[in-house]
A and B are shown apart, each in its own frame.
Chain A
Amino acid sequence: MIATFAFYVFAAILIASAVMVVTSRNPVHSVLFLILAFFNAAALFLIAGAEFLAMILVIVYVGAVAVLFLFVVMMLDIDFAQLREGFQRYAPIGAIIGGILLLELFMVLATWRFAPEAAALRMNPNPPGVTNAEALGRILYTDNIFLFQGAGLILLVAMIGAIVLTLRDRPGTRRQDIAAQVSRAGSVSVRSVPQGAGLKEIGILRPPSPEEEKPKQVEHHHGGGHH
Chain B
Amino acid sequence: MDFFFQNPIGIVILTVVKALALLVPLLVGVAYLTYAERKVLAAMQLRKGPNVVGPLGLFQPFADAIKMLMKETIVPTGASRVLFLLAPMLTFMLAMLAWAVIPVNDGWAIADINVGILYLFAISSLGVYGVIIAGWASNSKYAFLGALRSAAQMVSYEVSMGFVIVTVLLCVGSLNLTEIVRAQQTVWFVIPLFPMAVIFFISTLAETNRAPFDLPEGESELVAGFFVEYSSMSFALFFLGEYANMILMSALTTILFLGGWLPPIDIAPFNWVPGPVWFVLKICFCLFVFLWVRATFPRYRYDQLMRLGWKVFLPFSLVWLVLTATVLKLTGWLPA
Contact between chains at B49 and A225 (CB < 8 Å): yes
Interface residue tally on A, bucketed by range:
20 to 34
Contact between chains at B115 and A51 (CB < 8 Å): yes
Give A31 Cβ to nearest chain B Cβ, in Å.
10
A221 to B45: give the CA distance in the assembly, Å: 10
Q: Which residues of A contact B154 (CB under 8 A)?
A: 67
A132 to B155: give the CA distance in the assembly, Å: 27
Interface residue tally on B, bucketed by range:
35 or more
Q: Which residues of B contact A70 (CB under 8 A)?
A: 132, 151
A109 to B175: give the CA distance in the assembly, Å: 36
Q: Which residues of B contact A199 (CB under 8 A)?
A: 46
Residues of chain A in range 6-52 having any CB-CB distance to chain B below 8 Å: 28, 32, 35, 51-52
Interface centre among A35, A64, A221 (most CB of B within 10 A): A64
Give B60 Cβ to nearest chain A Cβ, in Å.
9
Contact between chains at B47 and A221 (CB < 8 Å): yes
Residues of chain B in range 133-183 having any CB-CB distance to chain A below 8 Å: 133, 136, 144, 148, 151-152, 154-155, 158, 175
Q: Which residues of A contact B144 (CB under 8 A)?
A: 74
Residues of chain B in range 46-78 having any CB-CB distance to chain A below 8 Å: 46-51
A113 at the interface (CB under 8 A from B): no
B332 at the interface (CB under 8 A from A): no
Q: Which residues of B contact A223 (CB under 8 A)?
A: 38, 49-50
Give B43 Cβ to nearest chain A Cβ, in Å.
10
User: How does the 8 Å CB contact mask read for A113-133 relative to B, with 1 for contact and 0 for none?
Assistant: 000000000000000000111
A76 to B128: give the CA distance in the assembly, Å: 20
Known pairs A55-B115, A59-B118; A226 contacts B129 (CB<8 A):
no
Contact between chains at B49 and A222 (CB < 8 Å): yes
Contact between chains at A225 and B151 (CB < 8 Å): no
Among the listed A55, A68, A227, which residue makes an inter-chain contact with B122, where contact means beta carbons less than 8 Å apart? A55
Among the listed B115, B129, B133, B217, which residue makes an inter-chain contact with A227, where contact means beta carbons less than 8 Å apart? B217
Q: Which residues of A contact B34 (CB under 8 A)?
A: 226
Known pairs A225-B38, A227-B219; A62 contacts B158 (CB<8 A):
no
A133 to B179: give the CA distance in the assembly, Å: 15
Contact between chains at B38 and A226 (CB < 8 Å): yes
- The 6 closest A-B CB pairs, nearest first, are A63-B125, A55-B118, A58-B122, A225-B41, A225-B38, A59-B122
Q: Can you list 11 A-B pairs, Cβ within 8 angstroms, ordered by A?
A: A55-B121, A62-B122, A67-B129, A71-B151, A74-B148, A131-B175, A132-B115, A222-B47, A222-B49, A225-B38, A225-B42
Q: A63-B122, A67-B151, A202-B46 are in contact. List 14 more A-B contacts (CB 8 A).
A: A2-B8, A28-B136, A59-B118, A59-B121, A63-B125, A67-B128, A67-B129, A71-B132, A75-B148, A223-B50, A225-B37, A225-B47, A226-B37, A227-B219
